[in-house]
Amino acid sequence: MIDLGFEHVYRPASDAGRPTLLLLHGTGGDEHDLLPLGDMLFPGAALLSPRGKVLEHGMPRFFRRLAEGVFDEADVRRRATELAAFVESAAVEYEFDRRGVVAVGFSNGANIASAVMLLQPAALAAAVLLRAMVPLVPETLPSLDAVPVLISNGEQDPIVSANETERLAGLLRRSGADVTVQLQPGGHQLTRSDIDHSRRWLASIAIGQRRDTSAR
């Protein structure tokens, strides 16, 4: 496997018109966990799936936390920058369009995807955030240029409250993102409804049409 700074899996798209899904697992997952989800959400898309490099009691994560729902913001910033650089390097190595990268993250993976959008706004064309909460509030909000974002959270989630869902949606909207919130029956686990809604939402958005803002 090519060393791009993360243990990862890359599977090319079935044709050049497909986006690249950046699959970001939850706590205790790895680079293989969300591959079946990627296939279900956008058949034929390229799949780029890294393993988080932070270990919590031996379980991979994408950034450190101090307690449940309390994040090490300095580490969040460092890891978000690191992940954005990985995506850029992977785009060069595997020859996919970096303007067509869509994050699909679950729990901790959704939170690092949110952090990347808030700190490295040119890195992602869209995002599906499954069971997501606010990772940090930057001092200066980015310009997300109507980046499409789906937040799919559980109505009975003991970890992510309805207020936290609205906080995240509001933060991203104030940054200019085009945010859709979909509340699912159930808790912190993914459901069939998550998959069905996310698949339809991905099919409805235009991916890869964002202008390149990396020079800002």
Question: Quick check: helix, strand or coil at residue 188?
Answer: coil
CB 50 within 8 A of CB 6: yes
pLDDT over 80 (residue 18): yes
List the catalytic residue out of 157, 175, 194, 198.
157
* Residues, the chain: 216
Tell me the pLDDT band of 206, cut-offs 50, 70 and 90: low
Catalytic residue among 39, 145, 178, 188: 188
Q: For the chain, what are the domain ranges?
A: 8-204
Active site residue 197: no
Catalytic residue among 107, 114, 152, 198: 107
Q: What share of the chain is helix, strand, coil (3-state, %, to 5)?
A: 30, 25, 45
- List, in order, residues 6 or more apart from 53 with CB less than 8 Å away: 6, 60, 62, 79
* 157 vs 214, higher pLDDT: 157
CA angle 188, 45, 6 (to 5 degrees): 70
pLDDT band for position 174 (cuts 50, 70, 90): very high
1-15, 27-41, 70-84, 100-114: segment of lowest average pLDDT? 1-15
* Annotated catalytic residue 157: yes
- 193 belongs to the catalytic site: no
Dist CA 151 CA 73 (whole Å): 21
Specify whether the CB–CB gap between 24 and 106 falls below 8 A.
yes
> 212 burial class (0-12, 13-18, 19+ CB within 10 angstroms)?
exposed
Cβ–Cβ < 8 Å for 86, 31:
no
- Over the stretch 114-172, which tens digit does the pLDDT of each residue have? 999 999 999 999 999 999 999 999 999 999 989 999 999 999 999 999 999 999 999 99
Q: Which CATH architecture has domain 8-204?
A: 3-Layer(aba) Sandwich (3.40)
pLDDT computed for residue 96 by the predictor: 95
